[in-house]
Structure 1
Amino acid sequence: MLGGLAVAALLAGGASYLASGSPDGLDATTLTGCTVDADGVITGGSCIAQRAQDHELGGSFLADYGIKGVDDATGLAGLIGVALTFAVGLAIFWAVRRRRNAAAESAAGEQLPAAGTPAAVSAEK
């Protein structure tokens, strides 16, 4: 588990700086049919991207693979994302494990023979 966490942190924190700033395939496809200036603003034509709307969480703390108010924080945002994802996963794991243990203890308690019965007396011997 720690090895996987270390690899994820390395990739999110280090390899993210190697990512291309160019639009990916989906972004490029939605711009097909439009003319775009150097800043990525649509200046003419007709394409799917013209109907795109801003996401309601677009201005949030970790939006657009960065940290609001901090320049070149892609790696740090990646590390925060890995840490948050790990924390949520760990909390879910602990909750499920705790629930299973409680269910197992409850089931084990129900299976024990009552004190004083022949089965309980033979189990004590």
Structure 2
Amino acid sequence: MRKRPWGFVVGGLLVALFLAGVVSSFASSHPDGLDSSLREGCTFDADDNITGGSCPAQREKEHEIGGPLADYGVAGIDNDLLSTGLSGVLGVLLTFAVAGGAFWLVRRRGPGEEVTTDRQPASRGVPGRE
């Protein structure tokens, strides 16, 4: 009989949800390598706004598309920890749904959608087989 790895899949989903919902709140608020390199050469005020200098970040614009999950948060939720955690959880669930649907579409199918087993099929009236 073919074993399905449901326990492994559910366990992985729970770990991903925990990491996205809880651990993401402890991520660094400092800019990553790309943001850091774009900000080189600029001067900043106390609120981290660009006040002068010359850097590519000065030409930064708001998101053109925007959306409910822009900037690692959920639009309309003022609590930063809750907003970040909820956006991570929604991202994991959306990714899991899309990937699960894609795998379901391309799964191997046997004749007539039957589940195959490792055992030889029983004889069905074939002479010489028991």
Whose RCO is larger (CA < 8 A, sep 6+)? 2
Q: TM-score range by the shorter chain?
A: 0.7 to 0.9
Q: How many residue pairs end up in the alignment?
A: 104
Q: Distance in 2 between matches of 1:38 and 1:28?
A: 17
Query: Counterpart of 1:65 in structure 2: which amino acid?
Result: Y
Q: Paired residue for 2:48, among 33, 40, 43?
A: 40
Aligned match of 1:6 in 5, 14, 30? 14
CA shift, 1:53, in A, is: 3.6
Shift of 1:37: 1.7
Q: Which 4+ residue blocks in structure 1 deviate beyond 6 angstroms?
A: none
Q: In structure 2, the residue corresponding to 1:67 is in which secondary structure?
A: coil
Pairing partner for 1:81 from 63, 79, 91: 91
Deviation of 1:79 (Å): 0.5
What is the CA deviation profile of residues 48-73 of structure 1, one whole-angstrom value per residue up to 9, with x for unaligned ones? 2123343322x210011100010221
Query: After superposition, where does 1:1-125 map in structure 2 within 5 Å?
Result: 1-57=9-65, 59-71=66-78, 72=80, 73-97=83-107, 100-101=108-109, 104-105=110-111, 124-125=126-127
Corresponding residue of 1:112: none
Matched position secondary structure for 1:54: coil
Counterpart AA for 2:25: Y
Matched residue type, 1:94: W
Q: For 2:63, what is the secondary structure of its paired residue? A: coil
TM-score (norm 1): 0.74
Cα deviation 1:72-98 (Å, max 9, x = unaligned): 21111100100000000110011001x
Larger radius of gyration: 1
Shift of 1:3: 1.3
1:110 maps to what in 2?
none
